[in-house]
Structure 1
């Protein structure tokens, strides 16, 4: 049943990429509509043995039925590849995920709000300084404190980066813990915390929904095709 949800998806992606209007889809110049070959079952088994946890069902099925990465939301789905005998995800920011921590549960909460409030309350403002050099030094020190708090490796235990939206904004797939299988938005570069992607009913968006929603939106570009006008 899980495999059936991907029936025809690879073919739909390939067909989209062949259309003259395919370049109008956001991020397509990044993935250029290329899909990696699907993983063999023994490759998937080796990957999961290496990271120490079974991947969410819809994602692992995608890897073996559609492709190991490539064309997808934003600038594409980060591919998982075997390099020098070890599996890893590749892409802009993929190394933010600690592969040795994927079996650990993704945390139910982020930093203590009191810590965030205290840090935000002392964020330097340029008008408070007489010299721009002093402001630059102060904001650099503040940024270091923010990054230490927000980018601590344990904050993204049990998760992998799967896509890059540009401007250091990314999306994560949760592998372990109570949020397993859901997609989270990462705008920490813009001083915002990690948050789950939710549908209109307020339910967490799974990998399958995330990918199919993108595919359906891309297919709605069809009226822009010269052949359809």
Structure 2
């Protein structure tokens, strides 16, 4: 699917001018503003640093729509150059290991049976006579859960691009067989990452959000 990202930028600007733009979830945060685009040289520099070629529709977004800004929920994390090189900025963007983006994203996460077994072992405060003993037990259990769900190996080959609030996020896979697809991250709710729909690409994800936002501002006022 070829996307006219310049036209997309125009549609986003039209949303910003709508008197009902604030009714779109997250609009108060990004205000339907897209940051300046990257130049081809800037994008080439970033990709050389990461050792990957970013998915084509996301590259188109960066080059013709914006380096970040308006988008699903609280917006697309911008790709910026800092003192230590290129990086994404946003709530959870630092969860991505930029040095490991060339490694294949692991489609299969932790063994579901192992996760279920660990969740069943969650310490309950009423089972402890001493609150300090409960705290020690819970902290040890929580560390085991973090090692299963939140270890860096789980998200190699992907970048965190968006957050929905309450520590739920979306990732874009940039390496491996799922390259180009969006994965939802609800690990805060003690579930593993999962693909968003059936091979939902960045472009499809963004255009679906844009169409829903346009429908929202056109709908009859309640």
TM range (shorter): over 0.9
Indicate the residue corresponding to 2:86 in structure 1: 87
Indicate the residue corresponding to 1:215 in structure 2: 210
TM-score normalised by the chain length of structure 2 = 0.94
Shift of 1:7: 4.1
Q: Does 1:52 align with 2:47?
A: no
Q: Is the 8 A contact 2:105 2:155 kept in 1?
A: yes
Indicate the residue corresponding to 1:167 in structure 2: 166
Deviations 1:151-205 (A, max 9, x none): 111110000000000000000000000111100000111111100000xxxx211
TM-score normalised by the chain length of structure 1 = 0.91
Q: Distance in 1 between matches of 2:171 and 2:161?
A: 6
Number of residue pairs the alignment of both structures matches: 222
Q: Which moved more, 1:42-51 or 1:142-151?
A: 142-151
Q: Distance in 2 between matches of 1:128 and 1:172?
A: 38
Q: Is the 8 A contact 1:51 1:100 kept in 2?
A: yes
Shift of 1:137: 2.9
Q: Is the 8 A contact 1:20 1:225 kept in 2?
A: no
| Gap regions ≥5 residues in structure 1 | none
Indicate the residue corresponding to 1:205 in structure 2: 200
Indicate the residue corresponding to 1:73 in structure 2: 72
| Gap regions ≥5 residues in structure 2 | none
Shift of 1:225: 7.2
Indicate the residue corresponding to 1:28 in structure 2: 27
The structure 1 segments of at least 4 consecutive aligned residues displaced by more than 4 Å after TM superposition are none
SS at match of 1:37: coil
CA-based RMSD of the aligned residues comes to 1.7
